Homo-oligomer: A and B are copies of this chain.
Amino acid sequence: MEPTIKQLRYLLSVSEAGSFRGAADRLEIAQPTLTAQINTLENKLGVTLLERSRQGAQLTPAGRSFVPFIETILDQVASIRRLADEADGSLIGTYRLGVPPTLGPYFLPEVVPTIHSSFPDLKMFVRENAPRDLEVGLLHGEYDFIVTTLPMEIPNLSVEPLFNEPLVLVCAPDHAFAQQDEVQPADLKGESLLAIEEKHRLFDLMQTIAAQFSARLLRDYEGTSLDTLRHMIGTGLGIAFLPALYVKSEITSRQDVKSMNFVGPSFARGVVLAWRPGSRRAELYKKIAEIMRAVSRKNLSGHVTLDMQITGYDGGRL
């Protein structure tokens, strides 16, 4: 029992034309059709909207009250039509990208300019979250695609591999390690090892490293962010293995912390681009992943490796 857009348009057309026949001509419908539709609209609203005479028709005072609403509706409908027309062959809408805070700020600035060059019309809205929250959010429609780390917890998402990002040993300048050219695995035994909060998947890797080399994982001093970890390292609370892109961006140029050449097995986290299997934009996301790999290969080859293959959501486990 609500009006239709056609009925509203018909009413305004009668008002403008000054008669049913004149309006019917403009609308390219038969005059009895117009009469019927206006009558139906008046019945739906329970208000007489037009005053009819042999000289034609015009809006009643009540009818005029509806005009601003009707004009707004028709204007918004025209906007929808225009937007739909513009959408043809273009990337309409704002795409929501989720990234881990331990990676996004140190990686996206490297690749976003190239993505924008390739897709000038693409609008992205970036939001950070822990990897498992990213994956759950992707599933629930909070993101359109995400950069996340392996191993993923949500199965059956579509995945494109990006790179492996090693972890780099970092200590204070006055730490014993800092006077050495390199650090041996045996050197880690008994060392205090700092780690990020447990909700970050990176924590798992840091815990694995601590266990493997019998270092003491300090649980009372978990960093809420990589920067917080850096500050704690600098004050001599302990040492830590930090992601290579973070080290490149925030450690290398500093005096209060030092990255070390750890001579031992390499630990790295796999980084992938993921989206929902049902997404109609799979090709777009694949292309974005290609760009991310290409830029990483060109600009970040000393910091990440790109030789991994993904065969399932468990893929990439080191």
Residues of A within 8 A of B (CB): 2-5, 18, 44-48, 51-53, 55-56, 58-66, 69-70, 72-73, 76-77, 79-81, 83-85, 87-88, 91-96, 139-141, 144, 276-281
Apart from A4-B4, A46-B87, A73-B73: 6 A-B pairs, beta carbons within 8 A: A18-B141, A60-B281, A66-B80, A69-B79, A73-B76, A73-B77
Contact yes or no, B92 A65, CB < 8 A:
yes
Q: Are A92 and B2 in contact (CB under 8 A)?
A: no
On chain B, the residues within 8 Å of A70 by CB distance are 76, 80
Q: A72-B72, A72-B76 are in contact. Are A2 and B81 (CB under 8 A)?
A: yes
The reply to whether B2 and A88 form a contact with Cβ atoms under 8 Å apart is no
The answer to whether A3 touches B77 (Cβ under 8 A) is: yes
CB distance from A25 to the nearest CB of B (A): 19
B2 touches A61 (CB 8 A): no
Assuming the contacts A73-B76, A73-B77, asked whether A53 and B93 have C-beta atoms less than 8 A apart, the reply is: no
**In whole angstroms, what is the CA distance A61 to B90 when docked?**
12
Please pick, from B4, B53, B59, B278, the residue contacting A51 in the complex, using a CB distance under 8 A. B278
Whose C-beta in chain B lies nearest to the C-beta of A94? B61
The closest CB in chain B to the CB of A61 belongs to B93
A5 touches which of B4, B84, B96 (Cβ 8 Å): B4
The CA-CA distance from A51 to B45 in the complex, in Å, is 36
Distance, CA A70 to CA B5, complexed state (A): 13
Task: Give the distance in Å from the alpha carbon of A52 to the alpha carbon of B278 in the complex.
Answer: 6
